[in-house]
Amino acid sequence: MRPTILGVVGWAILAAGLSACMTRSPRSSLPPAPIALKRPDVREWHGDRFVDDYGWLRQKTNPVVIAHLEAENAYTEAWMKPTEALQETLYKEMVGRIQETDYTVPYRKGPWLYYTRTQQGNQYPVHCRKPASGSGSEEMLLDLNELAKDEKYLSVGSFEVSDDARLLAYTIDTVGFRQYRLAVKDLATGRTFGPTAERVTSVRWASDHRTLFFTTEDPVTKRSSTLYRQTLDGPAEAIYTEPDERFSLRLDRTRSGRFVVLYVGSRTTTELRLLEASTPTGSWRTVAPREANHEYDLDHRGDTFFIWSNKSGRNFALYTAPVDQPEPAHWNLILPHRSDTMIESVLCFEDHYVVHQRVQGLARFQVSRYDGGNSHAISFADATYTASPEANAEFHSNRFRYSYASPVTPRSVFDHDMNSAKDELLKREAVLGGFDPANYVVDRLHAKARDGTLVPISLLRRKDTPKDGSSPMLQMGYGAYGIPSDAGFNSTVFSLVDRGMSYAIAHIRGGGDLGKTWHDGGRMAQKMNSFTDFIDVAQFLVDEGYTDTDRLVITGGSAGGLLMGAVTNLRPDLFKAVVTYVPFVDVINTMLDESLPLTVEEFEEWGNPKVAAEYAWLRQYCPYTNLEPKAYPSILVKTALNDSQVMYWEPAKYVARLRALKTDINPLLLKVNMAAGHGGSSGRYDYLKERALDYAFILDQVGLAK
Beta-carbon-side half-sphere exposure of residue 548 (alpha carbons within 13 Å): 8
β-strand pairing of 200-205 with 192-197: unpaired
Query: Containing H/E element for 495?
Result: helix 494-497
Residue whose C-alpha is closest to residue 312's, from 294, 334, 287: 294
Asked if residues 223 and 600 have their Cβ atoms less than 8 Å apart, the reply is yes
Asked if residues 256 and 276 have their Cβ atoms less than 8 Å apart, the reply is no
Q: Degrees (nearest 5) of the Cα angle 533, 538, 540?
A: 95
Tell me if residue 525 falls in helix, strand or coil.
Answer: helix
403 is a catalytic site residue: no
CA distance 685 to 683: 6
Provide the residue type at 645 as one letter. Answer: Q
CA distance 286 to 299: 14
Marked catalytic residue, from 68, 356, 416, 678: 678
Query: Containing H/E element for 642?
Result: none
Asked if residues 344 and 332 have their Cβ atoms less than 8 Å apart, the reply is no
What's 24's DSSP letter? T
CA distance 184 to 263: 23
CA distance 686 to 211: 38
Provide the residue type at 175 as one letter. Answer: V
Marked catalytic residue, from 513, 643, 694, 700: 643
Residue whose C-alpha is closest to residue 460's, from 434, 484, 495: 495
643 is a catalytic site residue: yes
Asked if residues 187 and 170 have their Cβ atoms less than 8 Å apart, the reply is no
Nearby residues of 436 by Cβ (< 8 Å), 6 or more positions away: none
β-sheet bridge partners, residue 173: 155
CA distance 325 to 640: 48
Residue whose C-alpha is closest to residue 345's, from 355, 353, 335, 336: 355
β-strand pairing of 112-118 with 126-131: antiparallel
Phi, psi of 345 (to 5 degrees): -165, 170
Rg over alpha carbons for the chain, rounded to the nearest Å, is 26
CA distance 583 to 637: 8
Beta-carbon-side half-sphere exposure of residue 702 (alpha carbons within 13 Å): 30
β-sheet bridge partners, residue 672: 639
CA distance 94 to 692: 8
Asked if residues 589 and 624 have their Cβ atoms less than 8 Å apart, the reply is yes
Provide the residue type at 262 as one letter. Answer: L
678 is a catalytic site residue: yes
Tell me if residue 395 falls in helix, strand or coil.
Answer: coil
Could you check whether the bond before residue 195 is cis, i.e. omega within 30 degrees of 0?
yes
Q: Give how far Cα 691 sits from Cα of 86, 154, 177, 552, 581, Å.
A: 12, 19, 21, 18, 11
Provide the residue type at 357 as one letter. Answer: Q
Asked if residues 658 and 632 have their Cβ atoms less than 8 Å apart, the reply is yes
Marked catalytic residue, from 207, 248, 558, 634: 558
CA distance 609 to 624: 15
Provide the residue type at 312 as one letter. Answer: S
Query: Which residues form the catalytic set?
Result: 558, 643, 678
